[in-house]
Chains A and B, each alone.
Chain A
Amino acid sequence: MEELGQSLRSCNGIAVRYQAADMIVELPTGGGRRHAVKVQSRRLPGTNGHVLWLQSRAALVSQPKIVRKALRENGGLSEIGFALDVTVEPPSLDVVCGVIAQGVTVEELLDALQKVSWAASAIDARVAAGDHF
């Protein structure tokens, strides 16, 4: 993961820092905004391989209908999905994505990071503006 972090650092506008075993990648998401994505290496159950687990805070969940909408959106077209982090109060809606670590390229990881950060940032902006998710 450190090698990937080094490669990401060389990309324009991307900041990488480490927090315990996690890698925090901050990416520009347009309009002067930046969004952080946590990257963890996790074992993939049922296999001998690992997954790069991408997670980014999108919004705090104050209404149950956000949960329902997120679950419905999860069935949609995108590669990324939504998860609910119940370890914080109020719970947080996260944008998540699992990238197979075996044979992953920097381009593929960067593509996934951009998708996660853009989606999380867009929801964050909409909710902050009082719009519905």
Chain B
Amino acid sequence: MTSAKAAPPPVPVPMARILALQPKLRPTDLEDAVVSTEDPLLLETVCNLVRIWATARKDLPADFSERVQVKALSRQPLSFASIDMETVERDAMQVNEPFPPGSGVDASPWPTSDLFMLRPLSPPTFPPAPQRTRVDLPGRQSVGVCTSCQGAGAENCVTCAASGRQICGSCSGTRQVTCPQCGGGGTHIGVSGRYIQCRRCNTRGTIQCQNCRATGQVTCQVCAGRGTLQCEVCSGHGNLKSRWVLNVNTETAHEHEFSLADPWPAPTEQLLSDTEVLSEVIVRPADGDATISAVAPASLRSMARRVLEKVSSSASGEQRIAAYRVQIRGTYLYDVRLEYSGRPFTVLIGGLRSQVFPKSALPAKSGALQTLGRFFQKGLRALATDERPGVGSDFVKAVSVGSAHLTDTNCLLPAVAAYLRCPCSVTGEGYVLQVVEEASKGSIPGPAIPISIKLDSEVAGKLTLCASVIIGDAHRDQFPLALSLNSKLMVGRLAVTEIDGVETYIYVDRRPYDFASAGRYAAVLQGMAAAVRWLSSSKPLN
């Protein structure tokens, strides 16, 4: 059932990348089939995401965010073969310019008449809008007499017909102007109030023009009386140099196709720009096919070749294909089975910004009476069970402005940062807090220690706060020492993990999310920061 009224457009909630939903993909991950998951972290994250999405939609029931439940979750990769083709069109054009005496002329012939051989193609830039550029072509220059002034370097002034004088603008050549005293009437009103004869013009009504001194002509203002003007075409040099320029029109054509193991009705066009580029290669026309094999996983190669053929066929005869940019892009697409008031419906979630798209009809907004009834029921339930389902408005606001992570429903870490008075930034996995040392009297506080806090789920499915700091490269001969240092570290422990194939010491602390009040977790982070400072100052592992 859909609402009779047209639904207002939903206000999108800006969402940063949530790594729990959109982990880093490799091209081979795009070959995965549909899998269903019961990972509690994913379920919790998706549920929060749907709740926040629902708060921005005015067409959903008021209590939707509170009562919606995630019943099942499955995902599959959505992959794109996206190809940009840069085409170049060239034409040579002769231009004439003033030729000052003594300047050089390159009259050497061109080695070829093929304009693409004459000058190599620039590195491809794939401009989003057509681009026009002009470059100089050396050679084939010549000098000739200026056709405009026939080599004179000057032209007759058109304004004065080369006389150097022009008709006076004040008297229009009549040498007389209207008397300003009587306005041409010959009489005017005197001080007595009666008409008297004009003495200035002696009742003639006109006087001699002072501008041209009664000659009717003035010096030509255009040529300053010279009668000639410098030739604008040759700048007065009398000669013109003819040289060649190359006009280059560069355009980018785009084609893409998508692939899904199970054809869910995803709005793929909206998702294309919101996907991650997993591999990219710039291909010259000659080696297109071979490079596609290297960049695309086996299942996407035929699709990439098809897109390449399609985009290539769009080039016209005058255009030369400069290069292709082949991209394999992908995102995880989630099919989320939800339930609200016993009614099932489905949404799809996909893209780096975790966009939500209804797959089936959404529940209609209820009438005022029903809403009142639900609020009453909710009040009774809250009184009876102390239950506070759904997400708080503070949390929604914090996520919307990017100050809280989607999984941090209690806004714990912003509270910890406020407690410690330290900067806090939201990342895909959680947060980074710059923990500063508590200043004591007479001492200079040390540098801030950046601690990343990941919101993760442990084996039992409980949400966990995982704080970590990278210490440095691990050396095998120091392993016993590193492990023994853990007896001195009050919170967290030293561990070894591989980062980019290199064994690295990390200092890590894991605690259940439920354990933490802001004050207690602040103590953990302060303890970690103190330990990191100790490790870097006393260098036991160096």
Co-complex (A, B) = yes
* A-to-B contact residues, CB < 8 Å: 42-47, 49, 51, 53, 55, 64, 67-68, 70-79, 81-86, 91, 93-94, 96, 98, 100, 102-103, 108
Whether B486 and A75, one on each chain, are in contact in the complex, defined by CB atoms closer than 8 angstroms, is no
Q: A46-B526, A51-B490, A94-B487 are in contact. Are A75 and B497 (CB under 8 A)?
A: yes
A86-B494 Cα distance, complex, nearest whole Å: 16
A84-B515 Cα distance, complex, nearest whole Å: 27
| Extra inter-chain contacts (11) besides given A46-B529, A74-B494, CB under 8 Å | A42-B490, A46-B526, A47-B523, A67-B483, A71-B482, A82-B486, A84-B486, A84-B487, A85-B487, A100-B520, A102-B519
Instruction: Show 26 residue pairs from A and B whose CB-CB distance is below 8 angstroms, ordered by the A residue.
Output: A46-B437, A46-B526, A46-B527, A49-B523, A51-B527, A71-B474, A71-B495, A72-B497, A73-B495, A74-B493, A75-B497, A77-B459, A79-B464, A81-B486, A82-B483, A82-B486, A83-B487, A84-B484, A85-B487, A86-B480, A93-B483, A98-B490, A98-B492, A98-B527, A100-B524, A102-B520
B contact residues around A47 at 8 Å (CB): 438, 523, 526-527, 530
Tell me, yes or no, whether B512 is within 8 Å of chain A by CB. yes
Whether B511 and A74, one on each chain, are in contact in the complex, defined by CB atoms closer than 8 angstroms, is no
B contact residues around A96 at 8 Å (CB): 486-487, 493
A76-B209 Cα distance, complex, nearest whole Å: 104
Q: How far is the CB of A105 from chain B (nearest CB, A)?
A: 10
Q: Mark B453-473 against chain A: 1 for CB-CB distance below 8 A, else 0.
A: 000101100001000000000
Whether A44 and B527, one on each chain, are in contact in the complex, defined by CB atoms closer than 8 angstroms, is yes
Whether B484 and A86, one on each chain, are in contact in the complex, defined by CB atoms closer than 8 angstroms, is yes
Whether A53 and B496, one on each chain, are in contact in the complex, defined by CB atoms closer than 8 angstroms, is no
Interface residues of B in 394-439 (CB under 8 A from A): 437-438
A contact residues around B479 at 8 Å (CB): 64, 67-68, 71
Q: How far is the CB of B415 from chain A (nearest CB, A)?
A: 15
Q: How far is the CB of A31 from chain B (nearest CB, A)?
A: 21
Residue in B493, B511, B533 whose Cβ sees the most chain A Cβ within 10 Å: B493
B contact residues around A49 at 8 Å (CB): 523
Q: Can you name the residue of chain B whose Cβ is closest to the Cβ of A71? A: B496
Q: A47-B527, A103-B520 are in contact. Are A75 and B490 (CB under 8 A)?
A: no
A contact residues around B458 at 8 Å (CB): 77-79
B contact residues around A77 at 8 Å (CB): 456, 458-459, 464, 510
Q: How far is the CB of B508 from chain A (nearest CB, A)?
A: 6
Q: How far is the CB of B420 from chain A (nearest CB, A)?
A: 10
Interface residues of B in 490-542 (CB under 8 A from A): 490-497, 506, 508, 510-512, 515, 517, 519-520, 523-524, 526-527, 529-531, 533-534
A24-B188 Cα distance, complex, nearest whole Å: 127
Taking a contact as CB atoms closer than 8 A, the residue among A42, A46, A71 that contacts B483 in the complex is A71
A11-B220 Cα distance, complex, nearest whole Å: 116
Whether B493 and A81, one on each chain, are in contact in the complex, defined by CB atoms closer than 8 angstroms, is yes
Q: How far is the CB of A54 from chain B (nearest CB, A)?
A: 11
Whether A67 and B480, one on each chain, are in contact in the complex, defined by CB atoms closer than 8 angstroms, is yes
Taking a contact as CB atoms closer than 8 A, the residue among A46, A82, A103, A108 that contacts B493 in the complex is A82
Q: Give 10 nearest A-B pairs by CB, closest first.
A: A46-B530, A81-B493, A74-B495, A83-B486, A75-B495, A84-B483, A71-B496, A45-B530, A84-B484, A51-B490
B contact residues around A53 at 8 Å (CB): 490
A79-B44 Cα distance, complex, nearest whole Å: 21
B contact residues around A100 at 8 Å (CB): 491, 520, 523-524
Q: How far is the CB of B91 from chain A (nearest CB, A)?
A: 63
A contact residues around B515 at 8 Å (CB): 108
A64-B476 Cα distance, complex, nearest whole Å: 10
A34-B181 Cα distance, complex, nearest whole Å: 128
A39-B335 Cα distance, complex, nearest whole Å: 48
B contact residues around A44 at 8 Å (CB): 490-491, 523, 526-527, 530
Whether A79 and B510, one on each chain, are in contact in the complex, defined by CB atoms closer than 8 angstroms, is yes
Q: How far is the CB of B482 from chain A (nearest CB, A)?
A: 6
